[in-house]
Copies of this chain bind each other. A is one copy, B any other.
Amino acid sequence: MTAVSSVDARTGEVVATVAAESTAEETAAACALAAAAFPGLEAMGRHGRAALLRAMAGALEAARPEVVRVADRESALGDQRLQGELTRTCFQLRFFAEVLHEGSYVEAVIDHAGPTPMGPRPDLRRMLVPLGPVGVFGASNFPLAFSVPGGDTASALAAGCPVVVKAHPSHPATSQLCFDLLASAVRETGAPEGTAGIVHGGPAGLGLVTDPAIRAVGFTGSLRGGRALFDAANARPDPIPFYAEMGSLNPLVVTPAAARERAAGIAEGYAASFTLGAGQFCTKPGLAFVPAGSPLREELARLVAGRDAAVLLNAGIGEAFSQVVATLRDRLEVVAAGPDPLSPVLFAVQVPALEGPLLEECFGPAAILVEYESEEELLGALASLPAGLTATVHAGEDETALPARLVTVLREKAGRLVWNGYPTGVAVGHAMHHGGPYPATTSALHTSVGASAIRRFLRPVTWQDAPQAILPLELRDEPPGIPRRVDGTLLTP
């Protein structure tokens, strides 16, 4: 029996034993319990599940001081950040409650029986229904908003899918505490017992992905881990969708005009963005393309050198960061670096040398200035980058030609295009997209943040000539108060 320990991220000390690693039997039992809960969770209906999500937000809010304290001990992310992350986590749960009430997400469509050029058409009614139990992998860098009570859990439960979460080993006590709070909301609202489950340990992760009861998986983590589990999900006798968000280089481009107009402001914003959360954001802008000879470099050198050394999420991440930095020091000019191995560090390189390890995400407070000599060189370099989650353009005030060319190239490389801003900070809302072409994610079609994240856990079903009593409420003649497309026309309530 392998113990799962809670480690203080600042001291490296083991402060508690949280659980034992889940055995294969325990993992299978959690999945079976989720499968047993599926019909009951769906039967709660949209409004019943909205109440469940609100109760979960309420339970987390009620335990705010303890949640933040435990999460800070395990992640070293600091009180302010974690207060904000908890607010976001609760907002997200309540946001999906609103999505449920509004009801567009079921994509209800009614085509009444009638003639067509191919002969008579039967009465057809279509909507989205939940897939079934969903596995969720918590992320190291967001112990709340992308972990046990995070966006994958919120969107899966909203869809009507019970969830089994694989707790991240970097914050098992936070995971277990949040799980207990979610479970109390499950009991309070009368949802089925298996609505939410938790497992611990690496083998449980693979067990989750291959369990016959699991119908989809949400994952946030590394490219290596994500790809291995993606492959396992696809190798099943019955492949299931595996939605992995695996990080990104997030190129940021400063045009010559922008560099002339606002070098100081951009330097300040960029230094803050790539060191935010100790550089442990999947949206960290790791590459900044700047005109060769721009004053930006000197501005950044000054800003970065003065920054404090980071405390990273765990010892493994700290070691990996130190190694990557050592490799980069051998290849690149150092623009600025503090005295500590975990100090923020900024490198520089010219476009022709941008290759190999420079094109891999570095998790931690490091970034690379990529100096370009011409627009053509810049555009060529951007076109050869791997795809990512975001791409950012800083343009001059009245500049149009180069930005338009940049956006044409960058849209194929990213899921979000940021204008004169910074990609860190991913608002939860209807218009957000957090995703991108591979290797940013395994499914460029879907988002892991925002209202449409629920679409990952739903599938269409069409009822043909079904009597009213057999139809789901959303498809009956009596208007259910949600938007529907009827005989081709989108109708709002």
- The stretch of A202-210, A350-358, A377-385, A436-444 in contact with B is A436-444
CA distance A446 to B427 in the complex (A): 27
Q: Does A461 contact B (CB under 8 A)?
A: yes
Chain A 426-466 interface residues, beta-carbon cutoff 8 Å to B: 427-433, 435, 437-439, 442-447, 450, 452, 455-456, 458-466
CB pair A465 B430 closer than 8 Å: no
- The stretch of A2-10, A103-111, A265-273, A367-375 in contact with B is A103-111
CA distance A419 to B125 in the complex (A): 12
Which among B117, B450, B463 is the interface contact of A417 at CB below 8 angstroms? B463
Which among B118, B230, B411, B447 is the interface contact of A239 at CB below 8 angstroms? B230
Tell whether A417 pairs with B466 under 8 Å between CB atoms, given A110-B431, A118-B84.
yes
Q: Closest CB-CB distance, A28 to chain B, in whole Å?
A: 19
CB pair A467 B131 closer than 8 Å: no
- The stretch of A293-301, A304-312, A314-322, A401-409 in contact with B is A401-409
Tell whether A419 pairs with B88 under 8 Å between CB atoms, given A238-B438, A239-B442.
no
CB pair B470 A404 closer than 8 Å: yes
- The stretch of A66-74, A247-255, A483-491 in contact with B is A483-491
Residues from chain B with a CB closer than 8 A to the CB of A407 are: 466, 470
CA distance A178 to B76 in the complex (A): 63
CA distance A118 to B84 in the complex (A): 7
Tell whether A403 pairs with B462 under 8 Å between CB atoms, given A129-B411, A238-B438, A421-B122.
no
CA distance A266 to B17 in the complex (A): 65
Q: Closest CB-CB distance, A32 to chain B, in whole Å?
A: 15
Q: Write the A111-134 contact mask toward B (1 if CB under 8 angstroms, else 0).
A: 100001111011011100101100
Residues from chain B with a CB closer than 8 A to the CB of A430 are: 109, 111, 126, 485, 488
Tell whether A431 pairs with B465 under 8 Å between CB atoms, given A118-B87, A460-B452.
no
Which among B415, B450, B490 is the interface contact of A104 at CB below 8 angstroms? B490
Q: Closest CB-CB distance, A195 to chain B, in whole Å?
A: 18
Q: Does A241 contact B (CB under 8 A)?
A: yes
Q: How many residues of A contact B (CB 8 A)?
A: 85
Which among B102, B419, B429, B461 is the interface contact of A416 at CB below 8 angstroms? B461
Chain B residue nearest to A460 (CB atoms) is: B433
Q: Does A418 contact B (CB under 8 A)?
A: yes
CA distance A458 to B428 in the complex (A): 22
Q: Does A469 contact B (CB under 8 A)?
A: yes
CA distance A461 to B413 in the complex (A): 10
Chain B residue nearest to A241 (CB atoms) is: B445
CA distance A102 to B91 in the complex (A): 33
Q: Closest CB-CB distance, A476 to chain B, in whole Å?
A: 14
Residues from chain B with a CB closer than 8 A to the CB of A88 are: 117-118
CB pair A470 B431 closer than 8 Å: no
CA distance A230 to B122 in the complex (A): 33
Residues from chain B with a CB closer than 8 A to the CB of A414 are: 461
CA distance A132 to B118 in the complex (A): 32
Residues from chain B with a CB closer than 8 A to the CB of A131 are: 444-445
CA distance A125 to B427 in the complex (A): 12
Q: Does A11 contact B (CB under 8 A)?
A: no
Tell whether A462 pairs with B417 under 8 Å between CB atoms, given A121-B429, A241-B445, A488-B430.
yes
Residues from chain B with a CB closer than 8 A to the CB of A490 are: 102, 104, 483, 490, 492
Could you show 15 A-B contacts with beta carbons less than 8 Å apart?
A88-B117, A110-B431, A116-B429, A118-B427, A124-B427, A414-B461, A415-B461, A417-B461, A419-B463, A419-B464, A421-B464, A421-B465, A433-B461, A490-B490, A492-B492
CB-based closest 10 A-B pairs? A124-B431, A111-B431, A433-B462, A126-B431, A433-B460, A109-B431, A419-B465, A416-B462, A444-B459, A418-B464
- Given contact pairs A452-B460, A491-B492, enumerate 14 new A-B contacts (beta carbons under 8 Å): A84-B118, A84-B119, A88-B117, A88-B118, A407-B470, A416-B462, A416-B464, A417-B463, A418-B465, A419-B463, A430-B488, A433-B461, A445-B455, A483-B490
